[in-house]
Structure 1
């Protein structure tokens, strides 16, 4: 008799475990926590692929030429500096060699960038070749502003300098002139400012007043192209065949136009807009802080968008499980925790499928195909869980709506918070409305 009673209590306990809604919710919550582990591994995989892309970019740009920043031209004048020192009770005059630097009054640069995509395995890297036309008008050299006299200057050792970030990008001998007189170029490196580039030795007398430095340079680079506004007035005109450049730096173009054929952009910078003057003695400021220009990037960064998509994975899992749980309650079907786990793994595997496809097809098409594959798989599986085809259709429609919702958020970056908040509010309201008649105390 006692044995039968014990069996009866055991049967009731097992029946309560199998039918308890509250316990089922606890189990579902635990499954969601467990699924965070493979989801974290999937996110790590996406980051790893992104790092691999960066390695491929560094490998390609290291052989081609890296991003370029052009600084110049500016004039370097060596001069003798005399100072008095006391040694052994006697005053002595020490002569030192210093350099004064002078920037142009007008700097006019016109550049045409021909961009192309190089392939490294499955990765694409943007590089460019550019034709740079430049003209720099210098006025009279204001030696007095630096307390230098004409007699101190070594006029036969003057030179014009143009700094470029990567000397490997210089494809041909530059064709530059001073007042229409051709100049010879040679490389230089400044150990104090860490600038490197081309110098053009010149020799002129102290009576030289206005002069014009002009010509063209062919320059290769990758992704970014910037200049520094050295002129009292700096004008930059850039054109190219890349349809979607990103304008960057301290100044944005006054005029710009972009279409499928390429872009056109114009800048005009005054010396009031920059934090340095026109003359320097001995050292130069950090010009790079005032650089501006553009970046030629791939139109779609599938890794960045995949990472943003994966951040919503927990939301997809929770909403999908919630929809499945409510259908289980109303249809009085019984979905085993193992079946929840299988559905959860399918939702997690979606992101691995997404990144694999996006590397080959681009993000948008990959998102469509991965979503169709996942929703289709879960629809077929749901057909075995629910006897009614209508319920399977509703579950499939809800899943589809979730993925459409996430895609809209990813694409509408400026309104992602607004759209996401409204969507979650609607989902919460729908859940509250649907579950309002469930008697949780009897569950």
Structure 2
């Protein structure tokens, strides 16, 4: 009696998978979807590390001094305002105390920032100390614009104000001069408006003459330095030793010079350019909203670049799997789905390696090392799959080209869409050209 051998269901399934192109493609697609899970975990890891960096920056800034915004000098003069009220048929006259504020006609600021990097663990934080020189010219006060009379003003209770974001940033006693006479400055803090800074008590003359102000400050801060344009004409010359400043605020400098070691910039803002005037009753508007200046950032944020790189992970996995699949078709070497999965996990693990190295070495060198290590690992694994150096070298070259392509996209942010679109078009055209003679049904 002759017995026939019936293959098991598992064996039949394996034969079907190895011979059916359609099923193999479906399985590869399923593997790509599964790899999205660890890839999303990688993005979460980058965000977590970026949060830790921000916490380190906040801790260092809190101890050194936070970002500084300077608003001033401006003049405040108290006055009595008479009000009449009718009570029980009788007229009562009361006096209410208020303050009128006046901005300078001209404000010239010269500032030089000495930036440095402080370290908190593996993280770097940019801080600065600066020498500021301020010159302001106040014209006779335009009381008529506020419907005020000279006899209403309490000239002996006037004060000059310099608002500053963080008083801890004042390094030494300010040097304040008014018409050549040295005056003492005192700190002030307004709990109602949450504003703080320096005030200089004045003894003004009822003749309402103008005066010239000059002051020198040593200020510390971190990351940003901004100035509010309180002068009817505000000019600032700002320089420093940082090679990559980012100009911020409502106004860009009219001229700038940048080199590998320092920067120099100049602003000029007219009262036509800002949304407030020169005289105010009871308080002044939020002039900080019109501030301008710069932020001192590190030349490259490795976490931002790592996030952008990891967003192309799916593209790298799909293109790598497509290359493997075409090589499988042409070489007749069958690659098991588990081997595709291992290759996919190594492509995902690349991003964890990139993050860890970039924290220590910077993004460009980390990208080179992580890419070289991953391409080398997969080239060695491909050698065991295909068996010959020519196919292995081709696969390694394709991977190297992919990683070079992604690096160019990440670095050329302005042209990322253009470069990416052209690159993908070339990849698709190449795939169509290579696979044009494949008999997919026969395969």
Output the TM-score relative to the length of structure 2: 0.98
For 1:341, the equivalent position in structure 2 comes to 341
SS in 1 for 2:45: helix
* 1:56-95 aligned within 5 A: 56-95=56-95
- Structure 1 position 53, deviation (Å): 0.3
Partner residue in 2 for 1:202 = 202
The number of aligned residues is 443
What is the rounded CA distance, in whole Å, between the counterparts of 2:208 and 2:38 in structure 1? 73
* Equivalent pair of 1:119/1:125 in contact (CA under 8 Å): yes
1:115–1:126 contact (8 Å) kept in structure 2 = yes
Is 2:111 the partner of 1:111?
yes
CA distance in 1, matches of 2:13, 2:105: 91
Deviation track 1:96-137 (CA, whole Å, cap 9, x = no partner) reads: 110100000000000000000000000000000000000010
Q: Which residues of 2 match residues 41-440 of structure 1 at below 5 A?
A: 41-440=41-440
Gap runs ≥5 in structure 2: none
**What is the CA deviation profile of residues 321-357 of structure 1, one whole-angstrom value per residue up to 9, with x for unaligned ones?**
0000100011000111111111011100100000100
Question: How far apart are the structure 1 equivalents of 2:80 and 2:400?
Answer: 78
Give the deviation of 1:189 after TM superposition.
Answer: 1.9
C-alpha displacement at 1:439, in angstroms?
1.9
Asked if the contact 1:192/1:283 (under 8 Å) is kept, the reply is: no
Shift of 1:194: 2.6
Shift of 1:2: 11
**1:84–1:94: 8 Å Cα contact kept in structure 2?**
yes
Shift of 1:88: 2.1
Quick one: distance in 2 between partners of 1:218 and 1:9?
Answer: 82
Q: Write the deviation string for residues 248-303 of structure 1: whole angstroms up to 9, x where unpaired.
A: 11001111001122000000111000000000011211112100000001111000
Distance in 1 (CA, whole Å) between partners of 2:10 and 2:417 is: 50
How many Å apart are 1:7 and its aligned residue?
4.0
Shift of 1:3: 7.6
**Contact 1:237 / 1:264 at 8 angstroms: preserved in 2?**
yes
Distance 1:278 1:115 in 2: 34
Do the aligned partners of 1:193 and 1:283 also contact (CA within 8 Å) in 2? no
CA contact (8 A) 1:193 1:284 kept: no
CA RMSD of aligned residues (A): 1.5
For the residue of structure 2 that corresponds to 1:4, the secondary structure is: coil
- Determine helix, strand or coil for the equivalent of 1:288: helix
Kindly state the Cα deviation for residue 4 of structure 1 after the two structures are TM-superposed: 3.3
* CA distance 1:210–1:442, shift in 2 (3 Å): same
Which SS does the other structure have where 2:140 is aligned? coil
